[in-house]
Amino acid sequence: MQEYPPPVNSGNSKPRSDSLDILSFILALVGLVTCVGSIVLGPIAIVTGLIALRRIKGNPQNGRSPAFAIAGIAISAFGTLVALIAAVVFIGGVKSNGYFFKDLGVVSEGKPIPSGEKAVTWQTLQPRSLNFYNRFIVDAYKSQGKHNEILTSAELQFLTKVAQCMSRHPSGTFMGGCLEDGRFIVKNGSDDPLVLYYYGVALQSHDERSEAIDVFRKARDRFKEMRYPKSAAYAVPLMLSTFVNDTQQASSPAEQSALLSESIEWLRVCLHRDVVHPDEVPIALASMPLPKRLLEGHWLDLCNALRNDPNVDPYAAKMLEGVCYIEAAWEARGSGYANTVTKEGWKGFRNYILLAKESFLSAWKLHPEFPNAPGHMVTVAMAGYADPGESMRLWFDRAAACQMDYLPNYSAYETGILARWHGSLQKMYAFGVECLNTKRFDTEVPWQFMVSLMNLEWESASGKTYISTRETQQHVDEMVDGYIKAGYRTPALWKSIKAGYYWHIGERSTAEKIITELGKDADPIAFGKTAEMPSNQALSTFLAIRNSSPKR
């Protein structure tokens, strides 16, 4: 495992030292005791002073001046006011240091999510995205000269469909919808590496991972035999290593080492400026899987490879550099609860988060019109290392202003408002409703309402109380109807999603009715997503419902 470089600090982002944290904590406790004492004793002193003043006035012959009593009352009142102010400051300081309270300042009220006609969406960029994928997939296939003459037409149709799917073309489907086309071609003798690779991706989307691994290995070998550009093949070793680990299949150290080397090399070449046009860099970055298990302990190997190659697009280099530092930060910290993190773990986490911040801000300065950098700064803010006054929501809003449906932005923010971080179950649900209320059913923003329901149930047993209410059912119906009316994806997909939701909340009769009406058009993958079951179980559920339904 590689050694990380010595942590460095940058600008005004210097992390607090441990000794400073301890001193601040002690002072905060002293301040709390003082505040509580002043708040409790202050009013008592005021009341005592008023009683004394009344007695003095009632007995002017006692020779005592009321001025002393008035002064005592004034001092007590002033002390109480100061104590109240100090209490507010103390609570704010404790919150920002994360001692007793969650840093609610990280989740500030933001701007409305852009939803007007002028809002930039993926569909605004979709023609550019389709051109990108056509060049990387379809044109790369054509560049290889002669293919199997019998299969060429079918292979081209398959890869064209894949390009539409990858670019999220409105008329396209998910990769799972390409499975049968790919299976037909491969069974009939296709050994083109691009066809094999995307057939493997379709297999993976159906949870057929064991077969996908065999297909990916074959694709990798064929890419080495043919003259395909590495930019077309870059994801093969990345995906292969991911599925080998996920399925716990045996992989020799030699294979893992080769996959790591190929992943870094092929990814680096893919980001060369003569391969990716400057305005396509965000599209390229969005399509790149980075398997954590393969790169564990080697994030800076990738980081250094990109930094040391002058041909790599500078924005892409800075963005991936920041991602590598984020991963290095979590490796240093560990995945356990905060009370299990060591002193060195916190130190490494802070320093690498700051390095990530520096990289993201550098990328943001290069292209403030791209959503990638501000979207990733949400994670920096979640960790508590954004600049003062910069909340998660501020960076979310900045990314949304660049592209309102940049999904990594939503994923980062949804993580930040989990109840375990800086949010609550109420905030999670409210954000889902906010996304639904954009009514931009030509994007996947309203779908984030369903994501919020999944997160609620995953986050806490109490979250289940949100997912089956009448209000939530109405919202789900509104979401599905909105997508169908907008023509985004297929009606069968959205109805299958709706059936899965109602199945999950126990409304089985409603789910069965939807599935029966859909017939063969029902989508088991979409159903399984919201029913929270694997696709093979969803398929068997579909078949059972069809077999039990009355014949028409």
> Considering the domain boundaries, does residue 328 fall inside one?
no
Mean pLDDT of 510-525: 90
pLDDT at 542: 73
Q: Is the pLDDT of residue 391 over 80?
A: yes
Residue 1's contacts (CB-CB under 8 Å, 6 or more residues apart) are 297, 298
Q: What 8-state DSSP symbol labels residue 113?
A: P
Residue 235's contacts (CB-CB under 8 Å, 6 or more residues apart) are 197, 287, 288, 289
Q: Tens digit of pLDDT for each residue in 33-65?
A: 666 666 666 666 666 666 665 665 555 555 555
Per the CB < 8 A criterion, the answer to whether 90 and 28 are in contact is: yes
> Considering the domain boundaries, does residue 46 fall inside one?
yes
Q: Tens digit of pLDDT for each residue in 461-493?
A: 887 889 999 999 999 999 999 999 999 888 999
pLDDT grade for 79, boundaries at 50, 70 and 90 = low
Q: What is the pTM of this model?
A: 0.75
Stretch among 21-30, 237-246, 282-291, 374-383 having the lowest mean pLDDT:
21-30
248 versus 500: the higher-pLDDT residue is 500
Q: Is the pLDDT of residue 18 over 70?
A: no
pLDDT at 353: 96
Q: Is the pLDDT of residue 102 over 50?
A: no
> Considering the domain boundaries, does residue 347 fall inside one?
no
pLDDT at 522: 87
pLDDT at 315: 95
How far apart CA 351 and CA 335 sit, in angstroms, is 17
> Considering the domain boundaries, does residue 410 fall inside one?
no
pLDDT grade for 342, boundaries at 50, 70 and 90 = very high
pLDDT grade for 204, boundaries at 50, 70 and 90 = confident
How far apart CA 412 and CA 240 sit, in angstroms, is 26
Q: Which of 73, 92, 78 is nearest to 31 (CA)?
A: 92
pLDDT at 25: 53
Per the CB < 8 A criterion, the answer to whether 224 and 262 are in contact is: no
Per the CB < 8 A criterion, the answer to whether 8 and 351 are in contact is: yes
pLDDT at 8: 34
Q: Is the pLDDT of residue 455 over 70?
A: yes
pLDDT grade for 504, boundaries at 50, 70 and 90 = very high
Stretch among 172-176, 213-217, 266-270, 378-382 having the lowest mean pLDDT:
172-176
314 versus 8: the higher-pLDDT residue is 314
CA 339 to chain centre: 24
Share of the chain above pLDDT 70, in %: 75
143 versus 537: the higher-pLDDT residue is 143
Q: What 8-state DSSP symbol labels residue 100?
A: S
pLDDT at 53: 58
pLDDT grade for 550, boundaries at 50, 70 and 90 = low
The continuous run of DSSP H or E covering 268 comes out as helix 253-270
Q: Is the pLDDT of residue 279 over 50?
A: yes
pLDDT grade for 266, boundaries at 50, 70 and 90 = confident
| Three-class DSSP labels, 148-215 | CCCCHHHHHHHHHHHHHHHCCCCCCCCHHHHHHHHHHHHHCCCCCHHHHHHHHHHHHHCCCHHHHHHH
> Considering the domain boundaries, does residue 39 fall inside one?
yes
The count of other CB atoms within 10 Å of the CB of residue 537 is: 15
Domain span at residue 90 reads 18-101
Q: How many domains does the chain have?
A: 1
Among all chains, which residue has been given the structure tokens 């001692």? 99
> Considering the domain boundaries, does residue 59 fall inside one?
yes
Report the interhelical angle of 448-459 vs 470-486 (nearest 10°).
150
Long-range CB contacts for residues 461-468, cutoff 8 Å, separation at least 24: 462/425, 463/425, 463/428, 466/425, 466/429, 467/504, 467/505, 468/505, 468/506
The continuous run of DSSP H or E covering 99 comes out as none
The count of other CB atoms within 10 Å of the CB of residue 343 is: 8
Average pLDDT, rounded, for the chain: 81
> Considering the domain boundaries, does residue 526 fall inside one?
no
Angle at the Cα of 73 from the Cα atoms of 69 and 78, rounded to 5 degrees: 150
Mean pLDDT of 274-290: 85
The CA–CA distances, whole Å, from 126 to 289, 305, 481, 516 equal 20, 30, 23, 35
How far apart CA 204 and CA 212 sit, in angstroms, is 6
**3 state DSSP class of 312:** strand
Q: What 8-state DSSP symbol labels residue 315?
A: H
Mean pLDDT of 177-198: 92
